[in-house]
Structure 1
Amino acid sequence: MLLRRLAGSGAVMAGTAVAVATGSLASPIFAEERTRREKLSIYDDPAPPVTVVEYHTELERQVGSVRKAISNVTYDTQQSLRGVVNKWIKTEQSVEAKIRELVAKDEPITPGILYVGVATLAGSVFGRYRTLPIRLFAPPAFFFVSLNFFLPKLSHNLSQYYVSIEKAHVPALTEQREHLVKCYRDALKSSESGLESIKHKTESGLQSGLQQVEKSTGLRIGNALGNAQQAAAEAKEKLV
């Protein structure tokens, strides 16, 4: 009986040894396994990075679009106003330069311009109780006549400037005006020549009449008249 128990326990131990050996062969054990174990850190693990995602609400989008539109309109308005101001400054500078060009350096403006203003006011007073055409044309007529009298060089420069503008912008009006001026000058020349011929005929008729009177009376009326005319001419030359 004892032998059987020893034999049975030996068989169990042998089976256990075989099982241990088989398990050892199935999972091999390495010598460096203990050295590969990582040591635990005394500090906490670093926190993962936080990524912020920007998110806009619908109200923010609407407010942003309105704000952008207002900024664009404001910028455009500022640029437009700046352009208008620059144009106005350039216009003032050009007008100032043109006035300096038209005003003659050797012709003082004062007091001639004051006399021109007084004459223009006198023209308006003169035509106040007249008919409508006289009331309309009296002040400018007095203005141009007084300007030509008190400031002749300025009047000449203004007329030349007006002619240049008229030729540049309204050439048809320039042609009509020149034609009217030519007709007026021709009529004036013809009237002057007619007056000269009438004067000559009158003088010749007067001379013939005086000669007839001298023949009939014997008085030297022609010599007396010639002496009077000569004295009048000499007095006129002295006045000039």
Structure 2
Amino acid sequence: MQSIRPLKPESPRRALLSASAAATGVVLHTSPQSEKLSIYPSQTPDVLLVETPSPLEEQIGVARRRVTETYREAHSRVQGVISRWIGVEHAIENRVKAIISPNESLTPGLLYVGVATLTGSIIARNRFLGTRLLLPPLFLFLSAKQFIPQTTANLSAYLGSLEEKYFPTLAQKHDIANAHSEMAWERLKDATQNGRQWVNHSAEVAVDKVQETTGLKLKETLGWAQKRVEVQVTEVAKVVEEKVVETKAAIDKAVEEVKVEASPPVEEVKTEEVKRLV
């Protein structure tokens, strides 16, 4: 049997020499390639600077964004309020233009209405409480109806529409009250007219009796005879006009009937033509 000799460890000097020889071989092997230089200039690498804000700057940015958003919201709200106010102004302007009549002058009319209202308050100054409360509005309403009637009618119609829209029950009661007031006014007018006619008739009877008793021509002196003649002429003219209108209508109706009778029906004419052709 052969005896196995143990390997002796290399000395440090020998190991260092072997390592340097290997490195020299590698350098000698790679040196021809690394010595080749490029014909183009080498590009300088770009340097990128990354900005990293500090915590204080981040807090300031957040606060600035919040303030900007708050300002924008407030600005939009203010603009909305302004636009609404402008719309209200336009609506009021259009409504006032619709109420005021272009055919009436407001400057003297309103002046007259104000003077009449002040007159009512002056008249009712030393009266009891009910008169002081009712007389100035009554003078105001009557003077407005007298001096600016169209504007007053437009204003009443507008107030009535508002009442019907927002207070329908009150509007119904108001309509009923207006109807009763109109009925009472018509009755008062009829009663006044009847009373005037009765007074005139009584005066005429009294004048006739005095004239028969004394022989004085009071009717001619007062001008009643001429007025009576004028009234009679007016009544006769109205009656004649009505008769003329009725006669004209009757004549037109008769002429139409004659035309209808004179013109034969279309179907009969067609049948007669067909028979003749056959």
TM-score range, shorter chain: 0.5 to 0.7
Query: Residue 175 in 1 paired to residue 172 in 2?
Result: yes
Q: Partner of 1:230 in structure 2? A: 224
Q: Which residue of 1 aligns with 2:119?
A: 122
Give the secondary-structure state (helix, strand or coil) at the position aligned to 2:106.
Answer: coil
User: C-alpha displacement at 1:38, in angstroms?
Assistant: 3.0
Aligned equivalent of 2:6: none
Change (3 A) 1:47 1:189: closer
Q: What is the alpha-carbon distance in structure 2 between the residues aligned to residue 219 and residue 157 of structure 1?
A: 59
Query: Is the aligned partner of 1:37 residue 2:31?
Result: no
**Distance in 2 of aligned mates of 1:194 and 1:174:** 30
For structure 2, list consecutive stretches of 5 or more residues without a partner in the other structure. Answer: 1-17, 232-278
Q: Deviations over 1:2-49 (max 9, x none)?
A: xxxxxxxxxxxxxxxxxxxxx9xx9796997442133689x9995773
Over 3 Å counting, the alpha-carbon distance change for 1:166 and 1:201 in structure 2 is same
Name the TM-score, length of structure 1 as normaliser.
0.62
CA distance in 1, matches of 2:200, 2:134: 40
**Seq. identity, %:** 26
Q: How does 1:41-80 map to 2 (within 5 A)?
A: 46=44, 49-57=47-55, 59-80=56-77
Structure 1 stretches lacking a partner, 5+ long: 1-22
Shift of 1:219: 1.8
- Higher-Rg structure is 1
Q: Quote the residue 2:156 is aligned against.
A: 159
User: 2:213 matched to 1:219?
Assistant: yes
- Counting only pairs closer than 5 Å after superposition, residues 80-119 of structure 1 correspond to structure 2 as 80-119=77-116
Distance in structure 2 (CA, Å) of the matches to 1:195 and 1:121: 30
Aligned with 1:36: secondary structure? Answer: helix
| Map of 2:257 onto structure 1 | none
Deviation string for 1:121-162 (max 9, x for gaps)? 333444455444444444333222221111112112212222
Offset from partner CA, 1:194-227 (integer Å, 9 cap, x none): 556666777788888999x78xxx7268x85798
**Aligned partner of 1:54: which letter?**
T
2:207/2:219 contact within 8 Å kept: no
The one-letter code sitting in structure 1 at the alignment partner of 2:52 is: E
Aligned-pair distance for 1:170?
Answer: 2.2
For 2:106, the aligned partner's letter is: I
Q: 1:52 corresponds to which letter in structure 2? A: V
Cα deviation for residue 190 of structure 1 reads: 3.6
* Cα distance in structure 2, aligned partners of 1:40 and 1:97: 91
SS in 2 for 1:122: helix
Shift of 1:70: 2.5
TM score, norm. by length of structure 2: 0.55
Provide the residue aligned with 1:186 in structure 2: 183
Partner Cα distance (1:205, 1:38) in 2: 152
Distance in structure 1 (CA, Å) of the matches to 2:156 and 2:126? 31
Q: Which amino acid aligns with 1:69?
A: R
Residue type of the partner of 1:65? V
Q: CA deviation at 1:166?
A: 2.2
Give 1:179 deviation, angstroms: 0.5
What is the Cα deviation at residue 66 of structure 1? Answer: 3.2
RMSD after superposition: 4.4
